C-alpha cells in the first residue's frame, strides 16, 4: 500500500488550525455585490441573482462549483450561499480540527473505531476485523487481534486509546447509540480519504444502523490541500439543510473537478 498521507510537525498542525479558524468563509458586502478577496479574508460570494455557472459547463471557481453542487442536491441555494457568508460557521471545523490535534491525529484519514485508533485507508479486512471485535467484546490488548493488526500497531498505525473522540457535533450515519461508532477524521481534498470512500464506504453503509455508525470529523490540512477547508464549509452548510452526506459523497466523487480551482 502506498504511503497514505503526509505527516505534519506539531508546529505545522497548529498553523493549520489557525488558518482554518481565520480564513474560511464567503463574504457578502453591504450592497450584495462582490467583496475583493484582499478585503474578505478568503471567499467572496456571488451577488444576489448571479449564476452559479452555465448548466453542463465546468466550474471556473470553487464558489461556482459549490453553488452548482448545492443546486444538484436540491438545496435552497440562497440559504446555502448565506451560510457560506457566515464566518461563524467555521467554528465547528476549527473545533473538530483542534480535537484531532488533541488526539494526536497527524494526517488523514484517521479513524477511531470506538477507542481503537486506525491510521490510513487500510484494507477492508482490517476495518471488518476491528468492527467485529468491538461487537463481541472490545479487546483491551493486542492479544485480541490478528498478526496483521499487531503489525499495524508496531508501525504506529493502530493503537488502543483511553477514550473515543467526542462526536456530539458530528454528522452521523446510523444510530448515535450504536455499539460501534467509527469516528473518521478526514479531509475532502485528500486522495487517500477518497480512496477509502470509494473502496470501503459502500460496503460499510450496508451495515450502518443500530449496531454500527459512522461519524465525520473535519481535519482539513490546508498546508497541502488549500481548498479542503472551503469544502468542509460547504458540507457544514449542506448539513443545515439535512444534506451533509449527499454533499460529502459529491465532493469526493468530483474531487478532481474542484480541488485545483481558484477560490473566486
* Structural domain spans, the chain: 100-218
Lowest mean pLDDT among 57-61, 64-68, 132-136, 250-254: 57-61
Task: Write out the three cell numbers for 81.
Answer: 450561499
pLDDT at 55: 59
Length of the chain (residues): 264
Q: CA-CA distance, 103 to 112, in Å (whole number)? A: 10
E-strand spans in the chain?
110-113, 116-119, 158-160, 172-173, 180-186, 212-218
Q: CA-CA distance, 122 to 80, in Å (whole number)? A: 34
In this prediction the pTM is 0.83
Q: Is the pLDDT of residue 256 over 90?
A: yes
Q: CA-CA distance, 225 to 189, in Å (whole number)? A: 6
For 89-117, write each residue's pLDDT tens digit.
999 999 999 999 999 999 999 999 999 99
Task: Write out the three cell numbers for 226.
Answer: 488549500
Q: What is the largest CA-CA distance in the chain?
A: 64
Amino acid at each position: 500500500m502506498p504511503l497514505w498521507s503526509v505527516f505534519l510537525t506539531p508546529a505545522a498542525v497548529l498553523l493549520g488550525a489557525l488558518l482554518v479558524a481565520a480564513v474560511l468563509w464567503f463574504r457578502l458586502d453591504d450592497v450584495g455585490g462582490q467583496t475583493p478577496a484582499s478585503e474578505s479574508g478568503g471567499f467572496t460570494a456571488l451577488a444576489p441573482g448571479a449564476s452559479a455557472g452555465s448548466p453542463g459547463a465546468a466550474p471556473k471557481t470553487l464558489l461556482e462549483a459549490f453553488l452548482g453542487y448545492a443546486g444538484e442536491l436540491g438545496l435552497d441555494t440562497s440559504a446555502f450561499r448565506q451560510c457560506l457568508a457566515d464566518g461563524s460557521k467555521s467554528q465547528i471545523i476549527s473545533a473538530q480540527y483542534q480535537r484531532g490535534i488533541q488526539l494526536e491525529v497527524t494526517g488523514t484519514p484517521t479513524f477511531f473505531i470506538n477507542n481503537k485508533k486506525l491510521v490510513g485507508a487500510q484494507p477492508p479486512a482490517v476495518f471488518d476485523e476491528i468492527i467485529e471485535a468491538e461487537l463481541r467484546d472490545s479487546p483491551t490488548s493486542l492479544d485480541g487481534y490478528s498478526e496483521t493488526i499487531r503489525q499495524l500497531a508496531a508501525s504506529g498505525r493502530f493503537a488502543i486509546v483511553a477514550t473515543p473522540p467526542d462526536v456530539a457535533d458530528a454528522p452521523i450515519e446510523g444510530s448515535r447509540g450504536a455499539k460501534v461508532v467509527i469516528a473518521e477524521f478526514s479531509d475532502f481534498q485528500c486522495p487517500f480519504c477518497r480512496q477509502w470512500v470509494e473502496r470501503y464506504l459502500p460496503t460499510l453503509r450496508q451495515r450502518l444502523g443500530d449496531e454500527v455508525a459512522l461519524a465525520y470529523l473535519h481535519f482539513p490540512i490546508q498546508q497541502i490541500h488549500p481548498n479542503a477547508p472551503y469544502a468542509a464549509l460547504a458540507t457544514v452548510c449542506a448539513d443545515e439543510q439535512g444534506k451533509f452526506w449527499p454533499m460529502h459523497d459529491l465532493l469526493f466523487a468530483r474531487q478532481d473537478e474542484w480541488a485545483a480551482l481558484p477560490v473566486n
